[in-house]
């Protein structure tokens, strides 16, 4: 019987160079979308999908992430003493992970995503686990929930997918399906290709930053040498898994924002703000007025 997926790995050691100078002294995962940092959205997505425990694979200058999920006693006490700050107190408490349910470990050298996942091996043990890249912001937990279900039913690894135009596939990792795409968005996978030429791409389904993996991937990563860019590539281990056992992809039906670049982050901020009752109407009116005036600066 397949084990339940209870744990998630969140690689947060990246330098965030596309957001310099803002990320010179601040973790890029702490960039906010309206009033929550990106990393909190990832944790909330996990909790909504039934995940209970977290390992954050960090690097230098990432201590703000650990502080964010800890209790802020002085702040909480101040808010509690002010009778009109109960909503703010609740929001602060919701950003706290239960004691013992989060571990922070260092990726001491920037050796790639595969290496970051491998750094969490002792905490993962022999259980299946999820991996979320916080740069990719999902509108809800629907994709992750479905991926966990597919992993638990098939006892095999699962990757999140989305469709892109054929002329864009060369910028991504692309799956090679071994069967048709089901009505539920699930597709069997036999291999994957990293950044293939357009005319050689096996599909138009690219891998996005959501993974639910069986623990044998850790042994495969351990045996890998440096791959593309001199890094330990997670895709190389996943390719071996796909060749030897059940492996699936799930095409997302959830809105996805790539916040790893300034334009993607800005679109996420605007979209999330428009969806907020207290902000949406005013922001929509302001945007329409500004566009009507033809202002661009």
Is a pLDDT exceeding 80 seen at residue 156?
yes
* Maximum Cα–Cα distance across the chain: 64
pLDDT average, residue stretch 264-288: 95
Beta strands in the chain (DSSP E): 7-11, 32-33, 36-37, 53-58, 102-106, 129-132, 136-138, 157-163, 173-177, 186-194, 205-213, 247-251, 256-258
The verdict on 248 and 277 lying in the same domain is no
The verdict on 151 and 281 lying in the same domain is no
The DSSP line for 129-143 is EEEE-TTEEESSSHH
Helices 262-274 and 280-293 pack at an angle, to 10 degrees, of 120
Pairwise CA distance, residues 203 & 171, whole Å: 13
Its domain, for residue 197, covers: 7-260
The verdict on 231 and 282 lying in the same domain is no
CATH number at residue 36: 3.90.550.10
The verdict on 158 and 242 lying in the same domain is yes
The verdict on 32 and 97 lying in the same domain is yes
Q: Does 2 reside within a domain?
A: no
Helix, strand or coil for residue 41?
A: helix
Per-residue pLDDT reduced to its tens digit, 167-215: 999 889 999 999 999 999 999 999 998 889 998 999 999 999 999 999 9
If pLDDT is split at 50, 70 and 90, which confidence band does 216 have? very high
The verdict on 242 and 281 lying in the same domain is no
The pLDDT assigned to 247 comes to: 96
Asked if 132 contacts 46 with a C-beta cutoff of 8 angstroms, the reply is: yes
Burial of 261 (0-12, 13-18, 19+ CB in 10 A): exposed
The verdict on 201 and 152 lying in the same domain is yes
**Count of C-beta atoms within a 10 Å radius of residue 35:** 11
């Amino acid at each position: 019987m397949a084990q339940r997926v209870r744990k998630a790995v969140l690689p947060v050691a990246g330098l965030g160079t596309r957001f310099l100078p803002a990320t010179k002294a601040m973790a890029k995962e702490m960039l906010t979308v309206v009033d929550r940092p990106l990393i909190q959205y990832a944790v909330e997505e996990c909790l909504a999908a039934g995940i209970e425990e977290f390992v954050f694979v960090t690097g230098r200058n990432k201590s703000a992430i650990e502080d964010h999920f800890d209790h802020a006693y002085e702040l909480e006490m101040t808010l509690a003493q002010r009778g009109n700050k109960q909503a703010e107190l609740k929001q602060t408490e919701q950003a706290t992970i239960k004691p013992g349910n989060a571990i922070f470990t260092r990726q001491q050298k920037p050796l790639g995503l595969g290496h970051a996942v491998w750094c969490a091996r002792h905490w993962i043990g022999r259980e299946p686990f999820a991996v979320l890249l916080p740069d990719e912001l999902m509108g809800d937990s629907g994709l992750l929930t479905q991926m966990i279900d597919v992993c638990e039913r098939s006892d095999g690894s699962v990757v999140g997918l989305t469709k892109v135009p054929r002329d864009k596939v060369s910028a991504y990792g692309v799956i090679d399906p071994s069967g048709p795409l089901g009505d539920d968005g699930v597709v069997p996978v036999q291999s994957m290709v990293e950044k293939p030429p357009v005319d050689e791409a096996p599909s138009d389904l690219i891998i996005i930053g959501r993974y639910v993996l069986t623990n044998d991937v850790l042994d495969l990563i351990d045996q890998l040498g440096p791959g593309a860019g001199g890094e330990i590539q997670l895709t190389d281990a996943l390719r071996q898994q796909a060749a030897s056992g059940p492996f699936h992809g799930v095409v997302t039906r959830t809105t996805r924002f790539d916040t790893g670049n300034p334009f993607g982050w800005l679109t996420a901020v605007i979209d999330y703000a428009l969806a907020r009752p207290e902000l949406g109407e005013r922001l929509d009116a302001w945007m329409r007025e500004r566009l009507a005036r033809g202002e661009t600066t």
